[in-house]
Amino acid sequence: DAGVTQSPTHLIKTRGQHVTLRCSPISGHKSVSWYQQVLGQGPQFIFQYYEKEERGRGNFPDRFSARQFPNYSSELNVNALLLGDSALYLCASSLGLDVSPLHFGNGTRLTVT
Amino acid sequence: KQEVTQIPAALSVPEGENLVLNCSFTDSAIYNLQWFRQDPGKGLTSLLLIQSSQREQTSGRLNASLDKSSGRSTLYIAASQPGDSATYLCAAGANNLFFGTGTRLTVIP
């Protein structure tokens, strides 16, 4: 079975641009979460979606938004990119809420110049 | 807000040695404690999940324990191998996980 897949793997953008990152969860998983990992730090929670509804939001500005589609795949959008948005963006999926382990994709490496 | 700390930040051991990685958290009202492995530039691989009602989990050479009262978890790796070299992250919470900054492990052949 395929794991969590993310696209693209690498991306270079200029300050002020916007970006869309994509994630396909493991088959049968209905929850998708997004995390930002800055170099040398642990991942930080951005969003969680379950059954197409937002179930949690971390401490990120409104420039960050996300959605989940009927097939449970998800997009993360970031507007007005800043240099500080450069990071590894990780998507994770799980069967449901709270008690099942998270399974992560390999991430999208975003560089903002 | 949950804060997770991992000590040490880096660790080098000779092949074959047993080792313990430490994780502490500030809020004992956690759902789960999950240990992950991260290879350079890669995503996270889930190693073990301990639910709040459990005390430990084992998988192969790995054993993770959870002591909510003291706010601590440990990951024990037996008979370390060079392939175990990676960064190990612990995370507390449910789907909204709070991560530590990790322990970078190097196993020397």
Q: Which tens digit of pLDDT belongs to each residue from A42-64?
A: 999 999 999 999 999 999 999 99
SS3 A41: coil
Interface of B with A (CB under 8 A): 4, 31-32, 34, 36, 41-46, 49, 51, 89, 91, 94-102
For residues A94 and A96, give the distance between their C-alpha atoms in angstroms, rounded to a whole number.
6
Which residues of chain B make contact with A43, given a CB cutoff of 8 A?
Answer: 44, 89, 91, 97, 99
Quick one: tokens of B68?
Answer: 């909510």
Q: Residue A108 is inside which H or E element, if any? A: strand A108-112
Closest residue in B to A87 (Cα–Cα) = B41
3-state SS of chain B?
CCCEEEECCEEEEECCCCEEEEEEECCCCCCEEEEEEECCCCCEEEEEEEECCCCEEEECCEEEEEECCCCEEEEEECCCCHHHCEEEEEEEECCCEEECCCEEEEEEC
pLDDT band at B95 (very low <50, low <70, confident <90, very high): low
The pLDDT tens digits of the residues spanning A78-105 come to: 999 999 999 999 999 998 876 678 899 9
Burial class (CB in 10 A: 0-12, 13-18, 19+), A22: middle
A42 contacts B101? CB cut-off 8 A: yes
CB-CB: which of A50, A90, A99 is closest to B43?
A90
The pLDDT tens digits of the residues spanning B28-74 come to: 888 789 999 999 888 999 999 998 889 999 999 999 999 999 999 99
